[in-house]
Structure 1
Amino acid sequence: MTNVLIADTSGADDGGELVGRGGELTELSDFLDGAAARGGARLLVGDPGVGKTRLLQAAAAMAVQKGFQVLTASGVQFEADISYSGLNQILLPLVADIDGLAAPLREALTVALGLGEGVAPRALVVCNAALELLSRASRTRPVAVMVDDLPWLDPASAAALGFIARRLPGTHVCLLASFRTGQAGIFERSGLSEVEVLPLNRVDSMRLVAGRHPTLSARARQRLLDEAGGNPLALVELAHGLAVSDAAPAGIVPEVLPLTSRLESSFAFRIADLPDRTRQALLLIALDGRRELGLLMRSGLGLADIAPAESTGFISVTLATMAVHFRHPLMRSAVVDQSTSDERRNAHRAIAENLHDEPERRAWHLAEAAVGPDEDIAAQLEQVARSVLSRGDATAAINALTRAAQLSPDRRDHSRRLAEAAYLRADVTGELDSASQLLAAARRIDPEASGSLHAAAAGAYMLVNGDGDVDTAYRVLLGAIQSAGQDWSADNTELVEALSTLLLICWWAGNPDYWPPLFEAIDRLEPEPPELLLIQSRTFPDTARIRPGDRERLAALIARQDEEFEPNRIIRVNTSSVYVDLLGGCRAGAWRLIEDGRIGGAVRSSLGAYMHLLLDDFGTGRWAEAQQLADEALAVCRASNYNFIVYYFLFHQALLAAVRGEAERAYAWADELTLVTTQRNAAGAERFGHHARTLAAAGQGDWEACYRYACLLSPAGEFAPYTPHALWVAFDLVQAAIHTGRHREARAHVEAMIAADPPAISPRFAMLTVGAQALVSQGADADRLFAAALDMPEASRWPFDLARIQLAYGERLRRGLAIGPAREILHEALATFERLGAAPWAARAREELRAAGVAPSKAAKDDIEPAGLTVQERAIAELAAEGLSNKQIAERLFLSPRTVGGHLYRLFPKLGITRRAALRDALRSASPGDSGAVSPTERQ
C-alpha cells in the first residue's frame, strides 16, 4: 500500500512542472537511487512556503516510479503531546506485518501505536521495533518514509525517527523529511545530510507567475515579485488575489501586508467562502491530527461536507485509507487561526467525546475545550503526567503538569504542579532556564510555595548550577523537608524525591555534619522508608561502613531494572551501585537514558548515566569507550550550561590522562575540577580530583606526591566518614607509603582496609585489600597473599587493578631472584597495560622484564641466554655496556656493588673479552638477530 502526500501545487506552473527546482529534483533522484541499495536519510530545509512539501510530493512520485513503497506523515501541531501519533501515521500501512516481529518488539510497537493494550514500552524497544518493521518491509521492495514538517510531530515519534535515521545506512529504507529554517524540535538533525531549499530567483518567479496568471498586468506582476521575495507559496496564493484586484476598472494594485500576514489573509478569504459545515469539518480534522474520516462520521459530518474544500484544493481525500490531507500545513494553521475560540473549544470537546478508550488524548482535548479552571481535567492531566513519566517520557510529563497547573482552581495546586514541572525540568530534562521560569511562576502564584518540596528541590538545582553554593542549597531543602505539618508517609512521592535530592547535595557538600539530619528524616518515613531510598542511603554515602546484606538487596533491585523506565529511579539504582562495584548490571538502563538524552529527552538524567558508564568503563578496562563518552558528556554539559555537573567529566578526563601517562594534562583537568567545585563549596565533589592526581603521581613514580594526594581523600590508617572514594586509592596509598619508607602507615592502612569488611563491599575491593596485605608482608606470607589476590573471584573483571598487583608481585619475585616466575607474571601485567594504554605502568613492567634479562617481546622463558649468560648476567652486561658504574647497576637491579662486580668477572670469559669497553660488540656478536633483550637506549 502507498500513502499519498499532500497535493500541493506551490512552485508548479499550470502544467504541473516544478519551476526552478531542477537541481533539487536531480539531487533527490540520485539520493533515491542510492537509497534503494544502501538506505539513508536526507532533510529538506527552507522557509515556510518555499516549496518543501511540493518537493516531497515530487520525490514520492519518483520513488513510486523507482519501485519504492512510500510511507508518509505530516507533523500536526495539535497532536504534539500524544506519543507516537506520527509513527502511527507512518506505520499504519504496515500494520499487517507487525505480527511477523519477535514477541517483545511486536508487543512494544502494538502498544505504542495504540493498536493494543499492555505495559508501557521502552522508547528504545519501540525504536528498534519500528526499524525492524521497516527493514522487513524493504525485503521485497525498498521503502521511502517521507515526513512533512517533522518538528511538528509528537516528541516520541520525532525521537524515534531520529533513532531510525542514523541506522538506515546499509538497509533498503530511506527517510526524507522537511524542516522549516530555524525550527527546533526533538529530532536530532546534526550529522544528517541536508538539502537547502532556497527562494526562487526572479526569472523563475516570473515563470511561475506567468504560468498561473498570464493575463496579470505588468505592474501587478512586478509588485508581486517585489513583495513575495521568491517564496513560491506567496507567489501562488497572492497572484490570485492580485489578479482579481487587477480586474477592477481602475486597475489599482492593492496595498499588501508583510508576508506571513498576507498569506494568512489570503487563506482567510478563501476559508470564509466555504460553507459553515465545511469549515466545521476542516476544524475537526485540523485539531484531531489523525485526519480520519471516521471522526467526521461520528461527529455527524460526512464526505458531502468536505467536498467544497476538496474542490477548491484545500484538501485531498484518500478513500482507500479514509484519510484527509491538507494541501499545505499553513492551510491547517489558517483553518485554526480563522476559527473562533468557541468553535475550537466545541471541536476539541467533540473529539474528546470519541476518545473514551484513549485517556491520554482525551485528557488533552478536554483541556483544550475547557473554558476555565477545572480540577477534574487538571487531575486527569496530572495522571497523564504520571503515566508518561513512568515510561520515560519526561518532556510529555512536564507539558501535562504545566497545562494541569493552568487548569487548577486552587492556587496551591496551581503552584504545586508548576513546581513539580520545574523540578522535572531541572532534574531530568535539564532545561535550567525553563525550570527557573516555572519556579518563579509557582512562587508568584503562591508566595508560600517556598514550602513546596518540589520547589525547594528545583531551587536547589538552580543554586548549584548557577551562582549559588551547595551549603545554601542544603539549608533551603532541609528546611523545607523539616517544615511543620509534613506528611511523613513513605508514599509521599514529593517528600521521597526531596530526600533523594538532599542525599545528592550532602554528597556534593562533603560535610559530615550534613548527613545525620538526612538519615533522621529517612527514618521518620512510615511505615518504613522505600526500598530504593533506604538502599541508596546505605551503599553510596559511606560504603566503608556498609551493613551486611545491603549489597545483596541492591543486586535484587538491579535485577529488576529491565522493568524500570522512570529516569530518576534508574539513576538512583545506578548511583547506589557505584562503590560496591555493581555498575556492570546497570549498563542497559544507563544506555537507555543516554539514547534518550541524545535525542533531546532526559538530558540531565543522561548525564548521570554517562557518569555510571564511565566509572564501569574505567574499572573494567573499556578506556577507549570511556574517552569517547567523557568527551561527549563534557560537550553536553558545556552546551547546556551545566556549570557544576561538568566536574564529573573533568574528573574522567583527568583520570584517563593520568593512567595514560599524560601527567600535565591530568593535573590541568584536575585543577579545572577544583576550580568548579570550590566555587560552590562542594568539598565532596572536589575530592574526585585527588583520585586523578594520585594516579598521575604514581604513573610518574613520584611516590611522595602520590602518598600526599591519596591522604587528602582519607589519612593513612582510616577511612574518613562519607568518603567512599578513598576505597579506590587505598592500594595506591599503601604502595606509596612503602616506597617512601612509611611502613607503619602502610600497615595501619592495610588494617583499616581489612576492618572495612572487604567481601561485604565488593570482590574488587577484596582483591585490592589482599594485594595491599601482600605489599606489607614478607617471605612466604607475601607470596601466599599475592597468589590469593590474583586468584580472587572476578579478579579479571578489573584488569588495571589486577595488573598493578601482578606488577608488584613480579617486582618482588625478580628482586628475590625467582626469575622464571617473575618473568611469567610480568609478561601478563605488561600485556594488560599495553592493551589498556597504561603507558607508565607498561614502561615499568618492561623495565622489570629487562632487569630480569628478557625483552618484553621475547616469548622464551629459559634462564640461559646466548653465550651461556644467565638472565642476571645478561642484565648486568647490558647496563655495563651502556656505561653505568657497578654502583649504578646495583641500585637499578637492587643488588650490591660487590655482587655486580662478581658477575662481571664471571661473564667476561664467557663473552671472550677482557675489558668493559668491549661489552657492546661482544653482546651483539653473541646474539645474532633478535637477542631477546633490548638495551635502554634502543628502547628509547
Structure 2
Amino acid sequence: MRLLGRDDELAQLRAFVAGAMESGGSLLLSGEPGVGKSALLRAACDHAVGAGARVLSAAGVEFETDLSFSALNQLLLPISGEIGHLAAAHRDALTVALGLGEGSPADRLVVSTAVLLLLQRVAGHGAALLVVVDDLPWLDRSSAEVLRFVARRLVGTRAGFLAAGRTDEESLFDHAGLPAMVVEPLGTHASAELLSRCYPALPSIARRGILAQAQGNPLALMELPVAEYDPTADSARGRLRSHFAARVGRLPGRERRLLLFAALHGSGDPRVLAAAGGEPDGIDALARAHQLGLVRPTRGGFDFRHPLIRSAVVEASTGRERRAAHERLAEGLADQPERQAWHLAAAATGPDERVARLLVRASRWALGRGDAANAVAALLRAAELSPLAADRGRRVAEAAYVGADVAGRIRSVPGLLEDSRRLDPELRSSLEVAVAAAYVLINDEGDVDTAHRLLVKAIEARGGRDATDRALTEALHTLLTVCWFGGRTQLWAPFHDALARLEPNPPEVLSWCAATFADPVRTAAAVLDDLDAAIAGLYEESDPVRIVRIGMAAFFVDRVAGCREAHWRVVEDGRRGGAVSSAILALIHLCLDDVFTGRWEQAQNLAEEGLDLCDRHGYRLLRWPLWFGQAAIAAYRGNAREATSLTESMIEWAAPRGVRPVQWYSCHVRAVSALGECDFERAYHHLSAISPPGVLASHVPLALWGVLDVVEAALRTGRHAEARAHVEALWVAGVAGLSPRLALLTGGAEGLLADDDDLFEQALNVPGSERWPFDHARVQSLYGERLRRRGATSRARSHLDAALDTFTRLHARPWIERARRELRATGATRRLTGADRALTPQEMRIATLAATGLTNKQIAERLSLSHRTVADHLYRIFPVLGISSRAALRDALNSLPSGP
C-alpha cells in the first residue's frame, strides 16, 4: 500500500539508498511517536532489497537498555559467520562483545572498528548493505556508541546506515553530526484521505473529531476510530496505549505469553523464543495477534507493529507472568551470563545470593567496557538481592565508589553511603564505605586528613595481605591519591606499609604509581622498563580506570606522549556520558602534557572542557590542576595578572583544606613569572618553598620541574654554593636518567654551573628533547648568553636566534624580550620580521572582530569560545602587534604585510 502524503520523504529515501549502495553514507529520521518513521524504514528496506542490497535490521528495546551490546547482537546475528574472517584482535573483541565467545572485554574502539570492518567486508564481498535501526533512544548504550562510530565512517563503502529516533526522547545520535531528515505529521489533505481510506463509513462529526485529535499522526488516524473512549487518557497517545492494551487482553493466553517473551527478550526470532518458551516456530503461532494488527511477519519471524504495542504487552501482564518469562529466558542464555544475570534479577521474588553474585560479575564486565552507568545499576540491584545486610551495605558502598570514581555521580554518593550504613551499621569502617567516603571528602570538601584517617583505619581493620583482594587494592589506590594531595611525608608511611604487606606481589599499576607518582626521584628508575611496556600496550586496553592510572604513573617521568591515544579514547567516552571522572583525569594529563610540549592553544581548550565537567559533576578538587595549566601558560606568555589571579584562586581553595601540592604548583607558576621578568630573587624564594636548593624533597615530585630554574635563580642571586649543591643532588639521584626532558634540564643546569660548552651541547642533543620546545629554547637561550659573555658571538647568535624563533612561535613574550636583548648585545640587528609579527588564524579572527568594536563576550559567542580565551588571545596579540590598546588594533592590522 502506498504511503499517503510521503512522496517527498520516499524520494529522499530512494535517493539515499541508491547513493549508499554506491558509496555509503548515513541518514537519521526523527519525528514524534506514530508519525510513520517505522513505515518509512520498511519502505526503504523494501526498496533496497528490490535494488539488490542486503538488509540488516535491529530496534532498540525499552526493557533491554541495561544489557550491553544487546542491539548489536540482534543486528549482527545474521552475519556472525563472517566474524571469523576478521583479524584476530577484531575477531576476538567482537565475539566477546556479542557473547559468542569467552575472554576479557575489549576496548570499545576495538569493538567499534571490528563492526565497521565486518560491515565493510560483507558489503564488499557481495551485495551492497543497508543497516536499519529503529527506536534509537532505546538502544543499550554500548550498542549505540558502536553504531554511532560506524555511522560516521561509512562514506566510501557500499554500506548505508539508516535509523530512526523520536523527537521526545534523547539519544547518543542527536549530536553525532549525521545527515538528518525530520518526518513531519501528515498535512490536512493526506490526513483526511488516510482516514477515509481506512474508515470510509465514519460519520462526519466523528471524522472531524479524529482529525483534530490526531493532528496528522498516521498511527492515531488509523487506530483512534476503533479505540474505546478512555476518560483517563489525556492525549491521543494515551488513548492509543489503552486501545492496544485492550487488544492484547483479547488474545489467547498462549499468544500473550509468546508476545511477552518477545517484548522482554527484544527479538521476534522464533528460534530464540522457542528455546525459551517452547512455542512453535513461525507467525502461525500468533494468528490472532496478527489478525488484531498487533504484530507483522518479518523475514526472520515477527515484529510488533509499534513500540507502544510492546509496552502494552508488558503492562498487560501480571508480575507473576513477567517473572516466569524472565526465568525461562534466562534458561536459554547460559552462554550470555550478563544478559542471563539481568533476566534472573527480574525474575527474583526475594533475596538470592547466586543472582546477586552474577550481577556483581556483570558490573565488572560493564565497568571493564567503560559502561559505568550500567555497572552502578548492576551493583545496586545486586545489593537489593543480597540476603545478608553486610553484603547489601557493601554492594551499595561499592556502587557509591564506582559512581564517584568513574561514573560522574559524586553528588549521589552521600545518599548511597547513608543507605549502606542503614543497611549495615557495622559497615562504617569497611573498605567499601571508607573508599567511597574518602573520595567524596577529597573531591568535594578537600578534607585530606579525615579521608586519610578513614582509609588507614579501614585498611588496618581488613588486615589483608591478598593482592587479589579488589576492595583492598582500590582502597590503596585511593589512599595513594589522598597522600599525594596531602603533600606531607608522614602521610605516606601507612600506604607504603600496606603495600609492602601484599602477597605475593602488589598489582603492577599500583606499584608503578607508587614508584613514579609518589616519589619518582628515589623509586621511579626501577620500574621504568615495565611502565614503558605497559604504555606500549595501551592500544588494546579498554578499562578507562587502568588507562588513567597508567597515565598517572607516566606523568612525572614525562611519558604521557605514549598514553595520549588511549587517553583520548577515555575523553571521547566521557563526552558521550561514560566514565566522567576518568575523562576529567585524562583531560588533566593531556592538558598538562600540552602545556609542557608547547601546544598551548589546545591545552587551553582542554582545560576549559575539563573545568566544565568538574563544575557540572561536582569534582571540585580536580579543578586546580586545570587552573594550574592555564596559569602556567599565562606565566610563560607574560600575562602576570591572569597567572596571579589563577594561583590566588588555587591557594584560596587549597590552603584551608591542607592540599599542599596546590601551593607548590602555585609557587612554580610564580617562579616562572619571576624568571620571565628577570626577578631572580623572587623566583629563588618561590622555588625554595617547593624544595630547598640542594635537596630533592621526599614525596615532592614537583621538585623535578624546577631543576634548571633553581640553579639559574641561585647563580643569578650570587648563591653559588646552593647552585652547586643542587646540581650535585641531581647527579647523585640520577635525575637525568628518568626522561629526555629531565636530561635536557639537568644538562642545562650542569652547563650553567660548570661553564662547560660540552655539557650544553650534550643537553641540547639529547634524543627526543625537542618534544619540549619551551625547555629546549630555555637551554638554547642560556647557552647563547654564556657564549656571548665569552665572546663567541657567531655561535651565540645561532643559539639565541633559534631560541627566539621558538619563543616567538609560542608567543612567550618575556622570553622573546630576553632573547632579543641578548641578540642585541651580540651586535645583531635582527628586526621584528613578518614571521615574528605573524598571528595565528584564530588570533587574526579575534583581532579583526575586536577591531570592529565587538566586546570579548560578543567575540566569544560568535567564535564558540569562552570570554577568558578571547581575553587571553588579545593579551598576546597586543605585544605581537606592538600596541597596548584595542583602539590601535585597526591601524596595526592594516599595517601587516598582505603576502607571505
Matches for 1:183-262 after TM superposition, within 5 Å: 183-185=169-171, 189=175, 191-199=177-185, 205-241=191-227, 255=231, 257-259=233-235, 260-262=237-239
Residue by residue over 1:850-882, the C-alpha shift from the partner in whole angstroms, topping out at 9 and shown as x without a partner, is 4434466999xxxxxxxxxxxxxxxxxxxxxxx
- Superposition deviation, residue 768 in structure 1: 1.3
- Superposition deviation, residue 521 in structure 1: 2.7
- Superposition deviation, residue 136 in structure 1: 4.1
Partner of 1:121: 106
Q: Cα gap change, 1:459/1:754 in structure 2, threshold over 3 Å: closer, same or farther?
A: same
2-structure distance, mates of 1:628, 1:196: 33
TM-score (norm 2): 0.84
- Superposition deviation, residue 709 in structure 1: 3.2
Q: Cα gap change, 1:71/1:548 in structure 2, threshold over 3 Å: closer, same or farther?
A: closer
Identity %: 46
Q: Cα gap change, 1:776/1:394 in structure 2, threshold over 3 Å: closer, same or farther?
A: same
Is the aligned partner of 1:311 residue 2:283? no
- Superposition deviation, residue 92 in structure 1: 3.7
Unaligned runs of 5+ in 1: 1-14, 243-252, 860-940
Partner of 1:880: none
Which deviates more from structure 2 when the two are superposed, residues 598-607 or residues 553-562? 553-562
Which deviates more from structure 2 when the two are superposed, residues 155-164 or residues 511-520? 511-520
- Superposition deviation, residue 777 in structure 1: 2.8
2-structure distance, mates of 1:830, 1:28: 58
1-structure distance, mates of 2:658, 2:725: 31
Matches for 1:496-511 after TM superposition, within 5 Å: 496-511=473-488
Amino acid at match of 2:332: N
Partner of 1:464: 442
Is the aligned partner of 1:717 residue 2:694? yes
Which deviates more from structure 2 when the two are superposed, residues 349-358 or residues 492-501? 349-358
Residue by residue over 1:86-144, the C-alpha shift from the partner in whole angstroms, topping out at 9 and shown as x without a partner, is 12233344445445533322332233233444443221101112122334445577644
Matches for 1:677-716 after TM superposition, within 5 Å: 677-678=654-655, 680-716=657-693
Partner of 1:585: 562
Is the aligned partner of 1:808 residue 2:808? no
2-structure distance, mates of 1:738, 1:210: 95
Amino acid at match of 2:444: G
Q: Cα gap change, 1:409/1:797 in structure 2, threshold over 3 Å: closer, same or farther?
A: same
Which deviates more from structure 2 when the two are superposed, residues 288-297 or residues 614-623? 614-623
Is the aligned partner of 1:480 residue 2:454? no
Q: Check whether the contact 2:638–2:676 (CA below 8 A) recurs between aligned residues.
A: yes
- Superposition deviation, residue 329 in structure 1: 1.3
Matches for 1:411-426 after TM superposition, within 5 Å: 411-426=389-404
- Superposition deviation, residue 804 in structure 1: 1.1
User: What is the aligned counterpart of 1:178 among 144, 156, 164?
Assistant: 164
- Superposition deviation, residue 408 in structure 1: 0.8
- Superposition deviation, residue 363 in structure 1: 2.1
Q: Cα gap change, 1:108/1:346 in structure 2, threshold over 3 Å: closer, same or farther?
A: same
Q: Check whether the contact 1:667–1:696 (CA below 8 A) recurs between aligned residues.
A: no
Is the aligned partner of 1:612 residue 2:589? yes
Q: Cα gap change, 1:381/1:698 in structure 2, threshold over 3 Å: closer, same or farther?
A: same
Aligned with 2:402: secondary structure?
A: helix
User: What is the aligned counterpart of 1:397 among 353, 356, 375?
Assistant: 375
Partner of 1:828: 802
1-structure distance, mates of 2:777, 2:10: 60
Partner of 1:334: 312
Matches for 1:270-289 after TM superposition, within 5 Å: 270-289=247-266
Which deviates more from structure 2 when the two are superposed, residues 261-270 or residues 837-846? 837-846
Unaligned runs of 5+ in 2: 834-900
Matches for 1:710-789 after TM superposition, within 5 Å: 710-778=687-755, 782-789=756-763
2-structure distance, mates of 1:359, 1:435: 28
1-structure distance, mates of 2:79, 2:238: 40
- Superposition deviation, residue 231 in structure 1: 4.1
Aligned with 2:149: secondary structure?
A: helix
- Superposition deviation, residue 227 in structure 1: 4.2
Amino acid at match of 1:356: A
2-structure distance, mates of 1:51, 1:429: 36
Q: Check whether the contact 1:75–1:149 (CA below 8 A) recurs between aligned residues.
A: yes
Aligned with 2:164: secondary structure?
A: strand
Aligned with 2:401: secondary structure?
A: helix
RMSD: 3.2
Partner of 2:150: 164
Aligned with 1:89: secondary structure?
A: helix
Residue by residue over 1:592-645, the C-alpha shift from the partner in whole angstroms, topping out at 9 and shown as x without a partner, is 322322332212112222222333333444445434433333333233332221
Partner of 2:37: 52
Residue by residue over 1:40-83, the C-alpha shift from the partner in whole angstroms, topping out at 9 and shown as x without a partner, is 54433444334332343344455557776543210012332332
Q: Check whether the contact 1:373–1:407 (CA below 8 A) recurs between aligned residues.
A: yes
2-structure distance, mates of 1:844, 1:142: 64
2-structure distance, mates of 1:429, 1:240: 47
Is the aligned partner of 1:551 residue 2:525? no
Q: Check whether the contact 1:737–1:745 (CA below 8 A) recurs between aligned residues.
A: yes
Q: Cα gap change, 1:59/1:857 in structure 2, threshold over 3 Å: closer, same or farther?
A: farther
Structure showing greater Rg? 1
Number of aligned residue pairs: 828
Residue by residue over 1:556-583, the C-alpha shift from the partner in whole angstroms, topping out at 9 and shown as x without a partner, is 4445545643333332222122112232
2-structure distance, mates of 1:167, 1:641: 35
Amino acid at match of 2:795: P
1-structure distance, mates of 2:167, 2:363: 31
Partner of 2:353: 375
1-structure distance, mates of 2:211, 2:393: 52
Q: Check whether the contact 1:124–1:592 (CA below 8 A) recurs between aligned residues.
A: yes
Which deviates more from structure 2 when the two are superposed, residues 324-333 or residues 62-71? 62-71
Partner of 2:269: 292
Q: Cα gap change, 1:96/1:487 in structure 2, threshold over 3 Å: closer, same or farther?
A: closer
- Superposition deviation, residue 810 in structure 1: 0.9
Which deviates more from structure 2 when the two are superposed, residues 431-440 or residues 415-424? 431-440
